Amino acid sequence: MQGVTTDEITDGATGTKNRLRLLTYNIQSGIDTKRYREYLTKGWRQLLPHRERQLNLNRIANMLHQYDVVGLQEVDSGSLRSGFIDQTEYLAHRAGFPYWYKQVNRSLGKFAQHSNGVLSKIQPSWVSEYKLPGFPGRGAMVIEYEASTEKLAICVLHLALSRRARTRQLAYLSELVGHYQHLIVMGDFNCGGDAREFQALADNTGLKRPSHELKSFPSWRPSRMLDHILASPSLIMEHAQVLNYPHSDHLPVSVDILLPDSLHFAL
């Protein structure tokens, strides 16, 4: 795995810290894709269980444990293809996260449970789920963390493939989360930072993204910026990077968030 490891800033007297390590990762339900033709030649893995999926989840869990909050996309919440294992819960236990939450966006009964997931080492004060506009199957989760009189909100999402649908979804999200003073939005946007709908979200909410390109798709030859972490101006982003951890068709994206003095969370 490439990247810089940053020590957490911790107040030993109060047991709190003012730096959060965040990661967003589309894990493709644990499928390790290495080239485009595998979508066809190994497409059966989207429907049926196989031993390699579980081994791949274990590899992913080994990487996740170093983060404070993780947003997951394309997680299976317990169906035939995952061996009826809730992958969000499995990764939480395996990687040492005491708090975990899932959002089933598209249920195909026992055959597939397409979901978003959140893993957290800090206890949230509130978790909300929202269905996004457009064709059913896309959703967002908003996780709130309270610290004294202030609040941090983290929104984890997975947007549609079509620009028209994404435009509606991001307009909806702007209304939904735009009022938070301290806000992070992360997930699989299915578009680059130069897309009109992406720019509209930034204009409407004031959210900022890292200044350099973070190409995360496809994992075997990353050329597109589909996975993003955005933050309010009150939150300082450091060490934003794409991790060379190709155990999906996407690569994970991470960032350190330096919080203002008014936001300290218990360890």
Give the 3-state secondary structure of residue 180.
coil
Instruction: Tell me whether residue 6 is in a domain.
Output: no
Cα-based distances in Å from 209 to 22, 203, 229, 231: 14, 12, 6, 7
We report the CATH number of the domain holding residue 66 as: 3.60.10.10
pLDDT over 70 (residue 39): no
Mean pLDDT of the 188-202 span: 96
Q: Residue 170's closest CA among 212, 206, 150, 199? A: 199
Would 10 be classed as within a structural domain? no
pLDDT in tens, 85-99: 899 999 999 999 999
Maximum distance among all Cα pairs of the chain, rounded to whole angstroms = 56
What is the pLDDT averaged over residues 183-192? Answer: 98
Helix 196-205 / helix 163-177 crossing angle, nearest 10 deg: 10
11 vs 154, higher pLDDT: 154
Q: Give the pLDDT mean for 163-168.
A: 97
Buried b or exposed e, range 44-65, using 16+ CB within 10 angstroms: ebeeebeeebeebbeebbebbe
Lowest mean pLDDT among 4-8, 23-27, 77-81: 4-8
Q: Is 7 among the domain residues?
A: no
Q: Is 135 inside any structural domain?
A: yes
Q: How far is CA 14 from CA 10, 147, 198, 213, 220, in A?
A: 9, 13, 39, 37, 44
In a domain? residue 189: yes
Domain span at 172: 16-265
3-class state of residue 165 by DSSP: helix
228 assigned to some structural domain: yes
What confidence tens digit (pLDDT) does each residue in 196-242 have? 999 999 999 999 999 888 999 999 999 999 999 999 999 999 999 99
Q: What is the mean pLDDT of residues 185-206?
A: 96
Whether residue 111 is contained in a domain is answered as yes
For residue 229, the surrounding DSSP H or E stretch is: strand 227-231
* Burial (Cβ within 10 Å: 0-12, 13-18, ≥19) of residue 5: exposed
Work out how many domains the chain is built from and give that number: 1
Task: Give the pLDDT confidence score for residue 114 in this predicted structure.
Answer: 87
Q: Residue 9 above 60 pLDDT?
A: no
- Report the alpha-carbon distance of residue 232 to residue 195 in Å, rounded: 19
- Domain assignment of residue 118, yes or no: yes
Q: What is the pLDDT of residue 83?
A: 80
Phi, then psi, of 235 in degrees rounded to 5 = -115, 130
pLDDT digits (tens, 9 = 90+) for 106-162: 888 888 888 999 999 999 999 999 999 998 899 999 999 998 789 999 999 999 999
